[in-house]
């Protein structure tokens, strides 16, 4: 995670700031952004509050998974329900997981029945870059982008020739990780192929549950990544990106019925192809066609029951970026996707399509800059939906910028919300949100960068269970006020990154705090690079919250300390060691009910992982 300085921006290639390099090149750069407007741009040029993790950040921080990275982002709270592989709640600026859009190489991967994206199943060894946008982006992406956007980019090849890599790791809870990769290319063609296997015996996620469910909850993940691109000439490039993660996770379900040894076979995959064309000096066009699958088959070791919930999505998008002159840029595009459901439960409807057109105009002047976006979606189930966004950037001086923005967001109801038997409501309307934000971005010194955000989000027609109607309804309204701060500081060979978030998320009708949202979160990373050694430490603090909407089930706050280090034994061989939850804190981030009482899901105590990475030169 790196916040750009004026010095690094000046050192970037001119093409990088103009949005002209290939995306494979841009994915290596810490000071550019792709997700905000679907094109390569400087991070300081976008109005979106953002955080970027490059492959170098991932190698340095040694995260256990994508959710471990997300917990470092100001305004993002992660609340899993047990050990590795468990279902996480991901709250961006106080919104729930289904109100955040998740993309892999531009492909939507969320489950169309539940709205969950399966981020806990993505192996970081197959990931090149993670971008997190905070704030509504429905004017660019349509449904789900109320709280923000998380985009995962799969691993890419670098340089000329062949570059193999091998990683082996062993750790606590009988954890074993293996990954193998090969990347390479020449002036026209690049590729990356990687595969990994991750296994752990896990922990018993619930102490209080059925006796038959008292075993450790193991987790197994097999992942495959393939990226391939070919430049036919200076103007045309085509390629494809594949990511497939599948395996088995065991979990506890104390509220279920005996017998109880539940597990699920899961798969999350995306396959996308693209054609990039510089049709004229001022006209850049990109066409993408993709397919994604999110599958889950819940089973029990003690029975023959099987409960598959599989969703499939086909999508296509076409975007055209027009440089009208030196100050004005216009993006025009269209998007289509269709969701299909195959499940053990009979839904009244099992497919629906969505079509959309969008436009975004950007003006960059000497004294101010503006951004105006609009998108119109037409959905087979709920009809039309138009969303707007606008921002104004005022450079106070050469080191300080003030940004004012307004954005709208919406979320279409899922198939579970609409058609699940004895629970759903086919007359549901989309959720709507309006957000207002003030940002201050300051280059305090040559080695210190500060970014702050003050925002308010009003959520209406939120989908929640209606106790009077005994089904789902557009009955909830919420108001979320928040403040975020990101500070990057460098002292010689030492670097530090501090993230702080204060939020007040409330239900408008009852005045209660929204469930499972902590009001205060803090993340601190400190790292030091020696000649062949590197050391680092992380501190994460989360305040208390409530597990329920009535605020009768409090969850205690917690603090976690982790340390890490690495040794480059040679140019080809590196050893890494990390210790998470060094103080062996016993804490819970989510509660469950068993025999009339609330209990906390167990999270992992002190854990360690030792890894060896070999990158031989060919």
pLDDT score for 273: 98
Greater model confidence, 561 or 11 = 561
Residue 251 lies in a domain: yes
Domain of residue 553, CATH code: 2.40.170.20
Q: Give the mean model confidence (pLDDT) for residues 201-220.
A: 88
Residue 91 burial by Cβ neighbours in a 10 Å radius (0-12, 13-18, 19+): buried
Closest CA to 161 of 183, 177, 184, 178: 184
Ranges 20-34, 497-511, 576-590: which has the least confidence: 20-34
Residue 228 lies in a domain: yes
* Structure-token pair, residue 158: 């670098």
Q: How confident is residue 594, by pLDDT bands cut at 50, 70 and 90?
A: confident
pLDDT score for 19: 42
pLDDT score for 421: 87
> CA 494 to CA 487: how far, in whole Å?
14
pLDDT by residue (tens digit) across 537-581? 999 999 999 999 999 999 999 999 999 999 999 999 999 999 999
Residue 433 lies in a domain: yes
Residue 596 lies in a domain: yes
Ranges 14-28, 152-166, 447-461, 557-571: which has the least confidence: 14-28
pLDDT score for 9: 36
Highest mean pLDDT: which of 22-31, 249-258, 481-490? 481-490
- Give how far Cα 425 sits from Cα of 81, 459, 490, Å: 28, 20, 54
pLDDT score for 419: 92
Ranges 259-273, 394-408, 459-473, 539-553: which has the least confidence: 459-473
pLDDT by residue (tens digit) across 376-425? 999 999 899 999 999 999 999 999 999 999 999 999 999 999 999 888 99
Q: How confident is residue 258, by pLDDT bands cut at 50, 70 and 90?
A: low
pLDDT by residue (tens digit) across 496-511? 999 999 999 999 999 9
pLDDT score for 21: 58
pLDDT score for 233: 93
pLDDT at 7 over 70: no
Closest CA to 32 of 24, 42, 22: 42
The predicted model scores a pTM of 0.94
Residue 30, phi-psi category: left (phi > 0), alpha (psi -120 to 50), beta (remainder): alpha
Q: How confident is residue 181, by pLDDT bands cut at 50, 70 and 90?
A: very high
Residue 586 lies in a domain: yes
Q: Are 322 and 282 in contact (CB under 8 A)?
A: yes
* Structure-token pair, residue 505: 């998320």
DSSP letter string over 359-420?
Answer: EEEEEE-SS-EEEEEEEEEEETTTEEEEEEEEEEEEE-SSSEEEEEEEEEEEEPPPHHHHHS
pLDDT at 114 over 60: yes
pLDDT at 14 over 60: no
- Give how far Cα 120 sits from Cα of 249, 493, 578, Å: 11, 33, 20
pLDDT at 6 over 50: no
The fraction of the chain above a pLDDT of 90, given in percent, is 81
pLDDT score for 256: 66
- Give me the chain's average pLDDT, please: 92
> CA 69 to CA 3: how far, in whole Å?
15
Residue 471 burial by Cβ neighbours in a 10 Å radius (0-12, 13-18, 19+): middle
541: number of Cβ within 10 Å:
16
pLDDT score for 422: 84
> CA 582 to CA 172: how far, in whole Å?
13
Residue 200 lies in a domain: yes
Residue 1 lies in a domain: no
pLDDT by residue (tens digit) across 336-383? 999 999 998 888 999 999 999 999 999 999 999 999 999 999 999 989
Backbone phi, psi, residue 570, to 5°? -160, -175
DSSP letter string over 24-52?
Answer: HHHTT-TTEESTTTTS-EETTT-SSEEEE
Q: Give the mean model confidence (pLDDT) for residues 324-335.
A: 96
pLDDT by residue (tens digit) across 279-309? 999 999 999 999 999 999 999 888 888 899 9
Ranges 23-27, 225-229, 328-332, 456-460: which has the least confidence: 23-27
Question: Total structural domains in the chain?
Answer: 1
pLDDT at 15 over 50: no
Residues of the domain holding 483: 6-614
Q: Give the mean model confidence (pLDDT) for residues 98-111.
A: 96
């Amino acid at each position: 995670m790196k916040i750009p300085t004026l010095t690094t921006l000046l050192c970037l290639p001119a093409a990088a700031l103009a949005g002209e390099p290939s995306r494979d090149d841009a994915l290596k750069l810490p000071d550019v952004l792709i997700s905000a407007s679907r094109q390569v741009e400087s991070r300081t040029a976008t109005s979106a509050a953002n955080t970027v993790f490059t492959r170098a950040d991932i190698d340095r921080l040694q995260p256990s998974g994508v959710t471990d990275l997300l917990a470092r982002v100001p305004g993002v709270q992660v609340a899993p329900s047990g050990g590795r592989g468990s279902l996480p709640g991901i709250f961006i600026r106080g919104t729930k997981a289904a109100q955040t859009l998740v993309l892999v190489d531009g492909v939507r991967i969320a489950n169309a029945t539940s709205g969950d994206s399966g981020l806990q199943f993505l192996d970081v060894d197959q990931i090149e870059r993670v971008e997190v946008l905070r704030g509504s982006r429905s004017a660019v992406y349509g449904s789900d982008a109320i709280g923000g956007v998380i985009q995962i980019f799969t691993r890419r090849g670098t340089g000329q020739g062949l570059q193999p890599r091998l990683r082996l790791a062993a750790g606590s809870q009988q954890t074993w990780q293996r990954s193998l990769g090969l990347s390479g290319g020449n002036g026209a063609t690049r590729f990356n192929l990687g595969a990994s296997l991750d296994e752990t015996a896990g922990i018993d996620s619930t102490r209080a549950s059925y006796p038959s469910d008292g075993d450790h909850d193991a987790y197994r993940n097999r992942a495959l990544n393939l990226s391939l691109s070919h430049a036919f000439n200076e103007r045309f490039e085509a390629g494809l990106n594949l990511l497939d993660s599948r395996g088995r996770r065991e979990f506890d379900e104390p509220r279920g019925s005996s017998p109880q040894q539940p597990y699920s076979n899961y798969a999350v995959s995306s396959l996308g192809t693209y054609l990039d064309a510089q049709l004229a000096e001022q006209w850049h066009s990109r066409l993408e066609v993709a397919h994604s699958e999110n599958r889950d088959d819940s089973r029990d070791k003690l029975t023959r029951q099987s409960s598959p919930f599989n969703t499939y999505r086909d999508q296509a998008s076409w975007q055209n970026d027009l440089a009208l002159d030196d100050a004005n840029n216009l993006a025009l595009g269209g998007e289509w996707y269709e969701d299909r459901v195959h499940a053990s439960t009979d839904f009244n409807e099992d497919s629906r399509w969505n079509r959309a057109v969008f436009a975004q105009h950007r003006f960059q002047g000497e004294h101010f800059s503006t951004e105006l976006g609009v998108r119109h979606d037409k959905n087979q189930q709920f009809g039309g939906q138009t969303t707007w966004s606008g921002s104004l950037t005022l450079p106070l001086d050469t080191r300080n910028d003030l940004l004012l923005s307004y954005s709208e967001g919406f979320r279409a109801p899922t198939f579970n919300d609409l058609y699940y038997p004895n629970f759903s409501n086919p007359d549901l309307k989309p959720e709507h949100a309006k957000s207002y934000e003030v940002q201050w971005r300051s280059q305090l010194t040559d080695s210190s960068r500060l970014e702050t955000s003050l925002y308010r989000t009003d959520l209406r027609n939120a989908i929640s269970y209606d106790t009077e109607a005994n089904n789902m309804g557009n009955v909830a309204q919420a108001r979320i006020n928040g403040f975020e701060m990101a500070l990057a500081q460098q002292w010689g060979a030492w670097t530090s990154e501090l993230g702080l978030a204060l939020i007040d998320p409330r239900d408008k009708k009852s005045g209660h705090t929204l469930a499972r949202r902590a009001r205060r979160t803090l993340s601190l990373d400190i790292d030091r690079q020696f000649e062949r050694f590197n050391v680092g430490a992380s501190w994460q603090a989360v305040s208390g919250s409530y597990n329920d909407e009535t605020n009768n089930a409090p969850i205690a706050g917690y603090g976690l300390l982790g340390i890490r280090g690495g040794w480059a034994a040679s140019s080809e061989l590196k050893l890494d060691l990390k210790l998470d939850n060094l103080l062996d804190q016993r804490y819970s981030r989510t509660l469950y009910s068993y025999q009339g009482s609330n209990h906390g899901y167990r999270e992992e105590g002190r854990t360690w992982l030792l890894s060896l990475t070999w990158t031989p030169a060919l």
